[in-house]
Amino acid sequence: MMVHFDYNQYTDDELLVKLGEGKQQALITLYNRYWDRLFVAAGNLLDSAEEAEECVQNVFIGLWQRREILQLTHKLSTYLATAVKYQAITALARMKREREHLSASENLPVSTETTSPESMLFVKELKQRIEAHINRLPPQCQLVFRMSREQDKPVKAIARELGLSENTVKMHLKNANRKLRGDLLALIFLFAYTPL
């Protein structure tokens, strides 16, 4: 008889032990436990929800990569809050550099990085899978999500355009993120840790 453990019952410290043993479910549990507050923390520093999501994902990918050597001197919540703040500051600096480079080299040819065919195939597959997950959202939730993420429209503009309250738009975004984040984390792992 197979025993199923409810990882949600574990404390952060117990989950870190499981994480050190290579249990992906421990990471997914921590991801779901802390995603909301880390997203808000990153979002308070960044204007882009997409950038904020990427910061949170980077923190958890880093946690997974360091799982065997991780030694925390503070509570996990403190570590994650500091890590996401660092990621957001790094993202701000990168965006600033990108804006400066863009304005300085508008008339220069764009340099292309060399990417292996395998990497391009993985990126294409990842995008297709993410799109499939987004397509499974309820119609209005999907519309709000796409306007926010793909058209980079703020909540106020989406609410005005669709004739919805700002709270309804926020609720749709929260629901979309909740439905997508577990699936997307699994896809990120598939992409990041499949040997080429």
Domains and CATH numbers, the chain: 1-106 (1.10.1740.10), 115-196 (1.10.10.10)
pLDDT of residue 77: 92
If you average pLDDT over residues 130-146, what whole number do you get? 82
pTM for the full model?
A: 0.55
Burial of 189 (0-12, 13-18, 19+ CB in 10 A): middle
In this prediction, residue 90 has a pLDDT band, given cuts at 50, 70 and 90, of confident
| Residue 5 or 50, more confident | 50
In this prediction, residue 94 has a pLDDT band, given cuts at 50, 70 and 90, of confident
pLDDT of residue 194: 46
Per residue in 28-43, pLDDT (tens digit) is 999 989 998 898 888 8
Kindly tell me if the per-residue pLDDT of 123 is higher than 70: no
pLDDT of residue 42: 87
Tokens encoding 15: 């989950």
Per residue in 154-184, pLDDT (tens digit) is 888 888 999 989 888 888 888 777 776 665 6
